Amino acid sequence: MSITSSEELLGMQEISKAVAETLKQMRAHATPGMTAKELDDFGGAMLSSLGAKSAPRLTYNFPGWTCISVNNEIAHGLPTEDKIFKEGDLINIDVSAELNGFWADNGGSFILGKDINELQPLVDASKQILRKAINQIKGGVKIADIGKLIETEARKSGYKVIKNLAGHGVGRSLHEEPHEILNCYDRFNTTRFRKNSIVAIETFIATASTYADQEKDGWTLVGNKGGYVAQHEHTIMVTDGKPVILTAVNNIWE
């Protein structure tokens, strides 16, 4: 969506704060031995207490309040009872929701407890690349150039990107134009970011895979060549200068 009034900006600020605070608290709440369902129920209760409704449930009838992916899962992981967290797991939580007709999206990967699998460098690269990408976004910038930046920075760090997952417009629904803010360069995409538009920017930085494949459960995405993937995501408002990071309170960069 494009912000045209102070009321719309306030609406986006409120839902963005709700999903960001939920993500932050879920990350702090996660412990070894906990099930993904327990963490999801915690997040669902928090969204409800803030008056927000789970976006994946509303939009896709997803079987959970949030998406929780562990280790080799990239995204859309099911928050089930048999998914039990262990020390050193790479966990990704994606929280998106609706409040008063406004929608926002954010996510982040982190290591649970001690980094016994030595994946913190991957997580750090994803964070840093997202920060660099967001800092380059303003009205008039080509979307393809941001994809090129993400892919180039990933390669410099010794990683790859998932080429068939992307950031997107958001605001009056979960997915809006622009529908594909890729992590790679698409020379055919001449679309530019528009001032006052709301977009969800996300990284998918990988150790081995370059494409995401869907599992038999119809939801979970895994890499085509295995390995691990770290994802970080903010909902932002594009301006003539530095973007306004609406989900900043999730502290995914800390």
> Chain-centre distance of CA 136, in angstroms?
18
Q: Look at residue 115 and give its three-state secondary structure.
A: coil
Please check if 76 is assigned to a binding site: yes
The annotation status of 179 as a binding-site residue, yes or no, is no
Q: Within 13 Å of residue 81, how many CA atoms lie on the same side as its CB?
A: 0
Q: How is residue 192 annotated by DSSP?
A: B
Dihedral sign of CA atoms 25, 27, 33, 34 in order: positive
Contact 246, 236 (CB under 8 A): yes
- Residue 175 annotated in ligand binding: yes
Residue 202 annotated as binding site: yes
Distance CA 198, CA 243 (A): 10
Do 178 and 83 contact (CB within 8 A), yes or no? no
Q: Is 233 annotated as a binding residue?
A: yes
Q: Residues forming the annotated binding site? A: 76, 94, 105, 168, 175, 202, 233
Q: Residues forming the annotated binding site for substrate? A: 76, 175
Q: Residues forming the annotated binding site for a divalent metal cation? A: 94, 105, 168, 202, 233
